[in-house]
């Protein structure tokens, strides 16, 4: 469940701290007081998009923090998989958004990706935003609701998506090959010549770099030898090499090294220097003797580099690219040596992919039909609890006639809202209030089958009143027995059912407008119910009605 919410500098919210309770939590207040902003902040913390208009004016950043309690095994698995800290069932989600739009998401203090945050949020909370019930009018919304009601449906859908991707790639490859003209004899000859030219060069990876290094040495042999001679001369004094001078100095120090340890150390260091200089001179002489490869080697290296550079100018910047080009030529030659067989192979591959996709679609159709039958019955029963006493609801699976990543069928929602009326497509006959109730029926059915701890409804009571409102209130109260429910509402019938009631108000001070929130207790609840019932003028009669409504609600909840 969602335990607490901390929002800072979000829209017209300066800073608020809010502790939610178990059961049915209601947020009420005047239109425009900021109720939906509060839900927007929760969405923001869970990775939702934030516009510049939602950034507050009291600081250069916005902050939203959510605190959850959950012992769901799925949460533990997600935390272990992503090396996150999980202690005592507490999950803290925070998002800090800078004024430049950049944001950082953290879970229990650890920075996480949007994908991980979405996965965690999907287990902890389900948010039904304003106007979300409009998705019932569209094919995508109806398909998603049907598929998500069945695990087998989702598995079959994943299979269709995979098969469709392979089918689409095979179709594209075949159409490209079939649509292209056969290569002319001249083009084939050119491919063969280019492949043969590269093959005959016998290029080796890294060969160009070693050849270029050797070419630089051979091109500058004379200068290198001159400079080596100057270095050797510098290491001698007259006819005496530096090594002999060092040996003489070391022997002199050796004669007196017994008098002082420091003199012995100097003697040893000089001996090391003499030995190292000897090795240096020997190595330099060996290099000078082996540097010259002669005119013949110079010509060989030059010719080899000319071949490599010519191939680079035509086929690629590196030896790897040149060899890859040769492989491409050989592949094309193989394909076009027997063009009809090549097309036949692609055609067979496309046919195989199409058959796999058809099989996957058939399975998805069967799973959708089973899910539709079960879901239709469950939704229709739930609708009766929401004052659809004579309604009939049905999900039909229609053929689309086309392949797509969502299958060649689509669910369609049908409704007969009143006794004697024929079944018609939902999109053509529904009112706003009916949509809200159908969505609530769907949510209540889904809640039975999932472990999501918190359900959030942002004005799901749109377009309803009277006895229907009472039925909706009882349905949500029933949901709150097994789930934490947070509900924004304008209806006193829903508010009276609350276990925890919060009032959201706009307040002006210091020339600024801010949103504040207060937890209501005792008579404060009656005052707010009176406002919702009576509007601007609250009479004793209205207050008595509010008190009676709350008492009846408490009695009703005991029976649920």
> Does some domain include residue 360?
no
**And the tokens for 216?**
């630089």
Report CA-CA distances (Å) from 510 to 61, 284, 507, 513, 517. Answer: 21, 85, 10, 8, 19
Do residues 105 and 47 make contact, with C-beta atoms less than 8 angstroms apart?
A: yes
Of 318, 337, 356, the one marking the end of a domain is 337
Residues 194 and 330 placed together within one structural domain of the fold? yes
> Does some domain include residue 206?
yes
> Does some domain include residue 415?
no
Per-residue pLDDT of the chain (560 residues; tens, 9 = 90+): 999 999 988 888 888 999 999 999 999 988 777 777 888 888 888 888 776 666 666 667 888 999 999 888 888 888 888 888 887 788 999 998 887 778 889 999 899 888 888 888 888 888 876 556 666 778 888 898 899 889 999 999 999 999 999 999 999 988 887 766 555 567 777 888 888 888 888 888 888 888 887 788 777 777 877 777 777 766 665 566 777 777 777 777 777 777 778 777 877 887 888 778 778 877 777 777 777 667 777 788 888 888 888 888 888 888 888 888 888 888 877 777 677 777 888 899 999 999 999 999 999 999 999 999 999 999 988 888 888 888 889 999 999 989 999 999 999 999 888 888 888 888 776 666 677 788 888 888 877 666 678 888 887 777 777 888 888 888 888 888 888 999 998 889 999 999 999 999 888 777 777 888 999 999 999 999 999 888 667 888 898 999 999 999 899 888 87
Residue 250 sits at φ, ψ, to 5 deg, of -65, -40
Q: Terminal CA-to-CA distance of the chain, rounded, Å?
A: 21
Do residues 157 and 406 make contact, with C-beta atoms less than 8 angstroms apart?
A: yes
**pTM of model > 0.85:** no
> Does some domain include residue 153?
no
User: What is the DSSP-derived secondary structure letter of residue 132?
Assistant: G
Instruction: State the Rg of the chain over Cα.
Output: 41
What span, in angstroms and rounded, lies between the C-alpha atoms of 418 and 427?
A: 16
Residues 446 and 542 placed together within one structural domain of the fold? yes
What span, in angstroms and rounded, lies between the C-alpha atoms of 3 and 1?
A: 6
What span, in angstroms and rounded, lies between the C-alpha atoms of 300 and 308?
A: 13
What span, in angstroms and rounded, lies between the C-alpha atoms of 293 and 457?
A: 86
Please identify which residue in the block is written with the tokens 């608020």: 16
Q: Provide the domain limits for residue 540.
A: 2-130+423-559
CATH of the domain at 537: 3.40.50.300
Of 289, 311, 337, the one marking the end of a domain is 337
């Amino acid at each position: 469940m969602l335990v607490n919410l901390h929002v800072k500098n979000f829209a017209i919210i300066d800073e608020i701290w809010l502790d939610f309770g178990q059961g049915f939590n209601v947020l009420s207040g005047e239109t425009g007081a900021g109720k939906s902003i509060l839900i927007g902040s929760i969405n923001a913390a869970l990775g939702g998009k934030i516009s510049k208009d939602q950034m507050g004016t009291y600081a250069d950043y916005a902050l939203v923090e959510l605190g959850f309690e959950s012992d769901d095994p799925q949460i533990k698995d997600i935390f272990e998989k992503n090396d996150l800290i999980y202690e005592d069932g507490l999950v803290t989600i925070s998002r800090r958004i800078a004024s430049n739009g950049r944001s950082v998401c953290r879970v229990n203090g650890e920075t996480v990706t949007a994908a991980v945050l979405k996965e965690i949020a999907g287990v902890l909370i389900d948010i039904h935003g304003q106007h979300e019930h409009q998705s019932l009018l569209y094919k995508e919304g109806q398909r998603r609701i049907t598929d998500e009601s069945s695990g087998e449906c989702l598995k079959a859908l994943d299979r269709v998506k995979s098969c469709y991707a392979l089918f689409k790639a095979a179709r594209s490859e075949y159409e490209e090959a079939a649509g292209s003209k056969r290569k002319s004899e001249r083009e084939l000859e050119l491919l063969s010549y280019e492949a043969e030219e590269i093959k005959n060069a016998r290029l080796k990876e890294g060969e160009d770099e070693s050849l270029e290094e050797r070419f630089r040495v051979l091109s500058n042999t004379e200068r290198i030898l001159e400079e080596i001679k100057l270095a050797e001369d510098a290491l001698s004094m007259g006819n005496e090499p530096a090594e002999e001078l060092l040996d003489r100095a070391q022997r002199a120090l050796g004669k007196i090294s017994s008098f002082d340890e420091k003199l012995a150390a100097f003697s040893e260091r000089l001996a090391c220097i003499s030995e190292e200089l000897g090795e240096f001179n020997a190595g330099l002489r060996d290099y000078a003797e082996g540097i010259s490869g002669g005119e013949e080697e110079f010509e060989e290296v030059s010719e080899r580099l000319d071949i490599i550079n010519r191939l680079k100018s035509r086929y690629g910047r590196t030896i790897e690219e040149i060899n890859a080009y040769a492989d491409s030529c050989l592949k094309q030659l193989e394909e076009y040596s027997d063009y009809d067989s090549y097309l036949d192979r692609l055609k067979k591959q496309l046919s195989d992919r199409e058959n796999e996709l058809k099989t996957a679609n058939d399975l998805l159709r069967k799973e959708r039909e089973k899910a539709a039958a079960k879901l239709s019955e469950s939704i229709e029963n739930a609708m009766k609890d929401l004052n659809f006493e004579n309604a009939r609801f049905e999900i039909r699976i229609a053929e689309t006639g086309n392949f797509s990543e969502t299958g060649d069928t689509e669910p369609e929602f049908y409704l007969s809202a009143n006794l004697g009326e024929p079944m018609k497509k939902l999109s053509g006959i529904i009112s706003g209030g009916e949509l809200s109730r159908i969505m609530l029926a769907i949510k209540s059915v889904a809640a039975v089958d999932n472990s999501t701890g918190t359900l959030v409804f942002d004005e799901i009571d749109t377009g309803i009143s009277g006895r229907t409102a009472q039925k909706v209130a009882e349905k949500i109260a029933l949901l709150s027995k097994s789930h934490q429910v947070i509900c924004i509402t304008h209806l006193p019938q829903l508010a009276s059912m609350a276990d925890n009631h919060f009032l959201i108000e706009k307040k002006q001070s210091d020339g600024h407008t801010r949103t504040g929130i207060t937890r209501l207790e005792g008579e404060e609840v009656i005052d707010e119910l009176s406002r919702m019932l009576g509007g601007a003028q609250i009479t004793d009669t209205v207050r008595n009605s509010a008190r009676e409504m709350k008492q009846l609600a408490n009695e009703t909840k005991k029976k649920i």
